[in-house]
Structure 1
Amino acid sequence: MRPTEFEPPEALRDVVKCFWHLHRDLGPQRSSFEVMPDGYAEIIFHFGGDCSADGKQTLPSPFLVGLLNQPVHFSAHGRLDILAIRCFPWTVFELLGVPPAKDSIQLFEHPVAHLHATLAQWMLADRIDLAVAALEQHLLGAQAQLDTTLHKAGEAIRQANGALPVSQVAAAAHATVRTLERKFKQSAGHTVKDVSGLVRFEQARNQLMQQPDSDIADLAQRLGYTDQSHLSREFKRYSGTTPAAFARKAGKP
């Protein structure tokens, strides 16, 4: 089941890609589900059965999922509702006012966490639109000033689907490579190359999910990989499986 996405108001679009909601009825026994890497960081609110990651810890609501280098396995039981804020990785830590970290899952303290009780009431009433509106209003009041260099660099990365060399990303942002890399490390905790690699992987993953019969060699060429082997190595690095195996699984009814 795919989540329902909600587009943010224009004033937040440099910071937030979208809000999304997912509902699952998992039954009385704990069930696990896999979250694949992509080019975003997400602030996750969850409601219902307790949620844990990789079987190690019960997670509070909300928690932060940063850029992932490999899949993470979550588990929960009963009714589970997730309401999330999908952020650009170069904006999320500034938005929260916390230092960047490479941890895949991070707990944080921020006034947005105080919205959980209000959001839970709207979720229980099945008024997802009002829950999203509450998040929007909070973020509009707390929005941080975004570095224009990071915004320009991020736009260049997204528009090129992660295929631009770092030097060209820096040129698009009107910055030197050294300055851009320093700002990315300070804001996202990752390098430009890290983020670009995940953005490009995301495009390959989405294509194979939507069209499992896609020609992988052609996909590699369209996404700017050196060749099919390059795509396969990068895909396995982030997903733990090959593009062909992923496509076969995605194509099963």
Structure 2
Amino acid sequence: MNSQIISPDTSITLFVKAILVFESQKNDRVNLPFYADGYPGLLFQRCYGDFTIKPHDKKMPTIFLYGQTIKPISIDVTGPFQIIVFQFYPFVLRRFWGISPESINDGCYDLDAPSNRAFHQLSSTLSSSSNAENSIQLLTQSLLSFFDSKKYNIDFSIQRAILEIIEKKGQIIIKEIAKKEALNIRTFERRFFKETGVSAKQFAKMVQFQAALKQLNSKDFQKLTEVVYKNGFSDQSHFIRVFKTFTGTTPTSFNKK
């Protein structure tokens, strides 16, 4: 299987953080794990075998939105296949699709239904294009057109807060962000949850967890405590507890896989 992370076109970087591509020309069965990262998104899949979300055992449509991934999931797919994921910043679902973000946490919203006329037609066009680059261009054009008339609806205080949490890799005091945005903490927390479907503290924890996970995957450490303290966890027990919440296993067990 080939995988890559692609930077989105500058025309959509306000809304899209990254584009992920997974492809295989083989008939093998592949299991792709996904853990909490703070980002909802859009997924398009062209699969000639099974495409199932575990542990729900749910077969998915060709193109769909997904909400915050809080509990660990995996995609069980049989090749040949092509999967393209547009990772959105977490304010996108509510502002651009009118979806309550909380309502699809650990869930999805079918864009391939006939009622979603524009994306239903796009799905047919994408299915006839086997080239990932062409598919990304088509999706980019469609999203740009879809977003362009709605971009002024963004709650820019929350958008700035999200970017700051990402920049600080989750290692930031939420009250300080609220103060910077001239909002009392209750108002800030209420607006953040309304826009994203998770609390600011939980989002920061997801970003912090992902930074630690990246270090674990790169093997860039000698002792686990290096990962713990570099990523701002108070102690090893705290890190293990957070890690197990998001992956279902301990860092040591995860690292042996």
Aligning the two structures, in what range does the TM-score lie when normalised by the shorter sequence?
0.7 to 0.9
Displacement of 1:242: 1.3
Indicate the residue corresponding to 2:46 in structure 1. 47
Change (3 A) 1:170 1:102: farther
Indicate the residue corresponding to 2:127 in structure 1. 120
Indicate the residue corresponding to 1:164 in structure 2. 172
Greater Cα offset, 95-104 or 56-65 = 95-104
Distance of 2:222 and 2:71 partners within structure 1: 23
Q: CA RMSD in A?
A: 2.1
Q: In 1, are the aligned partners of 2:243 and 2:250 still within 8 Å (CA)?
A: yes
Distance of 2:18 and 2:222 partners within structure 1: 27
Displacement of 1:212: 5.8
User: Residue 22 of structure 2 aligns to which amino acid in structure 1?
Assistant: L
User: Residue 200 of structure 1 aligns to which amino acid in structure 2?
Assistant: Q
User: Residue 171 of structure 1 aligns to which amino acid in structure 2?
Assistant: K
Q: In 2, are the aligned partners of 1:37 and 1:238 still within 8 Å (CA)?
A: yes
1:241 aligns with 2:249: yes
1:174 aligns with 2:178: no
1:73 aligns with 2:97: no
SS in 1 for 2:142: helix
Q: What residue ranges of structure 2 are gaps of 5+ in the alignment?
A: none
Displacement of 1:25: 4.5
Indicate the residue corresponding to 2:36 in structure 1. 37
Change (3 A) 1:32 1:9: closer
Q: What residue ranges of structure 1 are gaps of 5+ in the alignment?
A: none
Distance of 2:254 and 2:187 partners within structure 1: 38
Greater Cα offset, 173-182 or 82-91 = 173-182
Aligned length: 245
Q: In 2, are the aligned partners of 1:64 and 1:108 still within 8 Å (CA)?
A: yes
Greater Cα offset, 16-25 or 94-103 = 94-103
Of 149, 153, 165, which aligns to 2:157?
Answer: 149
1:227 aligns with 2:235: yes
Of 206, 215, 218, which aligns to 1:198?
Answer: 206
Change (3 A) 1:140 1:33: closer
Indicate the residue corresponding to 1:61 in structure 2. 62
User: Residue 216 of structure 2 aligns to which amino acid in structure 1?
Assistant: L
Of 129, 139, 142, which aligns to 2:143?
Answer: 139
Change (3 A) 1:107 1:222: same
SS in 1 for 2:249: coil
Identical-pair percentage: 24
Distance of 1:92 and 1:199 partners within structure 2: 19
User: Residue 198 of structure 1 aligns to which amino acid in structure 2?
Assistant: M
Distance of 2:250 and 2:11 partners within structure 1: 39
Distance of 2:31 and 2:3 partners within structure 1: 17
C-alpha offsets along residues 196-215 of structure 1, whole Å, 9 cap, x if unaligned?
11111111111100126443
Change (3 A) 1:62 1:38: same
Change (3 A) 1:130 1:220: same
